[in-house]
Structure 1
Amino acid sequence: MTYKLSLLDGYVTKVDSNQTIPFADGNAEYAQYLEWLSEGNTPEPADVPIVASNTIILAKISEIEQTLQPRATREYFLNGDKTRLQEIENQITALRAQLI
């Protein structure tokens, strides 16, 4: 038997039955979960919603494009060194590959 944390505070999911269990005194399923924890078990982490994951990645890309990329472009035009600009492009490409 395994459990998975829920994104909702005060709940856990029993993985084998996909049953959501509220953290409530007097709830037999909750008591079983607490006993399972006391035996040294650890629940699986909650699933991060795809939307949240993509939002974080897009925010990182935007930050790079608004701060680092303009500076690297200026450096390229001032001294002809394209190294930093290429590093930034590689970072953006790697982040875009992580989008779901």
Structure 2
Amino acid sequence: MKRQELAARNQPGGYWVAETNPAAVDHALTGQTHLDQLRRFAVLSDGAARAVTFGLHDWTSALELMQAAGATELIRQVRAAERSDPDGTRWPRNKRSDDAAAVFGLLTQRV
């Protein structure tokens, strides 16, 4: 798995990691939305996004959880899942635990 990951890293058709290659910024996916179309949002590191990639949540339920209980709860659930599968049998991964950061935003007043 590690060889496959390294072969796909910072390559066209793969994924880009700015930490190891500053040119990765040229491959970022970006977009815009109007605030009147936005109700809530989250920015997650790949470690926090494990909540979805592990199948603990889909994107909607992850947002609902963070709105109800905070981003800390999402990360707590990821850490519990990682601890329950230390060898990566259920959720294959290259690192037992990855950095996890999450920011959740909720728009309560329309501009």
Q: TM-score, normalised by structure 1?
A: 0.26
Which of the two has higher C-alpha Rg? 1
Larger helix proportion of the pair = 1
Structure with bigger RCO (C-alpha 8 Å, 6+ apart): 2
